[in-house]
């Protein structure tokens, strides 16, 4: 489920229109709209998987806590999920609220096509012009101490940052997260105790391989955000 979106009312050449603050992946499995025609799914490494909406559908972020972002048929109900991307006047134009460089050409009820402005320009409600752009914002990482032992934890996927899980003085059985902290030198990664150059960390380390006897999930010896599933003798 996508995190709540922020809206910005932009005025260009005397015409106002709504932009939705750009989103980035912060949660595995999260979905959000990149544009009126493009849905994003966040994979296990918090990379964006782009999913184009089929013809006749537009992307919608949902309007309640139970809604999920997805591609919706223009003529379906309820319309609140994709209202920002659905043309209300035909013929005409509709600015893409998720990507200011794109817009919808409204042909007839339930019929609209996407168009794009030249690089460096945005759609102002009637045409393309040099205007504001929305810079992506990065959500703060989740510091989770659940089922962790007291000490430092690496933050994937880059592994250049880390945080601490320490006992809560008021509740010793509970661990409280502190941080995050970033390795001081570019190219360093956190090993679980110290920051070292990634090139030094990889020297002499053999890639992990299942031995054929263990069963379960095992961390990779090179990539801190990867693991291997071993199935005994399989």
pLDDT at 23: 75
pLDDT tens-digit readout, 183-221: 888 888 888 788 888 777 665 556 667 777 777 777 665
User: Cα separation of 82 and 56, whole Å?
Assistant: 12
Residue 227 pairs with which residues in a beta bridge? 219
The verdict on pTM exceeding 0.85 is no
The three-state secondary structure class of 44 is coil
Q: Which two tokens stand for residue 200?
A: 């030094």
The 10 Å CB-count burial string (b at 16+, else e) for 132-146 is eebeeeeeeeebebe
- Comparing CA positions, the residue from 139, 186, 194 lying closest to residue 158 is 186
Q: What is the DSSP annotation of 150-178?
A: SEEEEETTT-SEEEEEEEETTEEEEEEEE
| Per-residue pLDDT at 145 exceeds 60 | yes
- Whether the CB-CB separation of 124 and 46 falls below 8 Å is answered with no
The Cα diameter of the chain in Å comes to 70
| Per-residue pLDDT at 151 exceeds 50 | yes
pLDDT tens-digit readout, 44-55: 778 888 888 888
Using pLDDT thresholds of 50, 70 and 90, give the confidence band for residue 128. confident
Mean of the pLDDT values across residues 126-133? 70
pLDDT at 79: 55
pLDDT at 2: 40
| Per-residue pLDDT at 15 exceeds 50 | no
pLDDT tens-digit readout, 66-100: 456 788 887 765 455 667 788 888 888 888 888 88
- How far is the CA of 205 from the CAs of 187, 215, 228, in angstroms? 18, 22, 16
| Per-residue pLDDT at 121 exceeds 80 | yes
The more confidently predicted of residues 4 and 226 is: 226
pLDDT at 9: 37
| Per-residue pLDDT at 225 exceeds 70 | no
| Per-residue pLDDT at 160 exceeds 70 | yes
pLDDT at 67: 58
The residues, any chain, with a CB within 8 Å of residue 50's CB and separated by 6 or more, are: 34, 38, 39, 40
The two counts, helices (H) then strands (E), for the chain are 1, 19
pLDDT at 8: 39
pLDDT tens-digit readout, 164-192: 888 877 777 888 888 888 888 888 888 87
Mean of the pLDDT values across residues 23-49? 83
């Amino acid at each position: 489920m996508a995190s709540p979106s922020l809206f910005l009312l932009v005025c260009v050449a005397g015409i106002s229109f709504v932009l939705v603050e750009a989103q980035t992946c912060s949660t595995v499995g999260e979905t959000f709209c990149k544009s009126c025609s493009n849905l994003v799914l966040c994979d296990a490494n918090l990379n964006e998987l782009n999913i184009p909406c089929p013809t006749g559908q537009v992307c919608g972020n949902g309007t309640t806590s139970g809604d999920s972002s997805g591609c919706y048929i223009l003529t379906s109900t309820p319309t609140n999920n994709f209202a920002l991307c659905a043309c209300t006047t035909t013929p005409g134009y509709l600015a893409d609220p998720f990507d200011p460089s794109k817009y919808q050409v409204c042909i007839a009820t339930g019929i609209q096509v996407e168009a794009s402005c030249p690089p460096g320009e945005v759609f102002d409600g009637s045409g393309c012009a040099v205007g504001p752009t929305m810079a992506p914002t990065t959500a703060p990482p989740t510091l989770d101490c659940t089922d962790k032992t007291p000490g430092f934890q690496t933050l994937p996927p880059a592994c250049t940052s880390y945080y601490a899980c320490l006992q809560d003085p008021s509740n010793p059985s509970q661990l409280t997260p502190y941080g995050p902290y970033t390795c001081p030198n570019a190219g360093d990664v956190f090993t679980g105790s110290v920051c070292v150059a990634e090139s030094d960390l990889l020297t002499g380390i053999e890639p992990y391989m299942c031995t054929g006897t263990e069963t379960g999930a095992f961390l990779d010896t090179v990539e801190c955000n990867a693991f291997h599933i071993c199935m005994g003798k399989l």
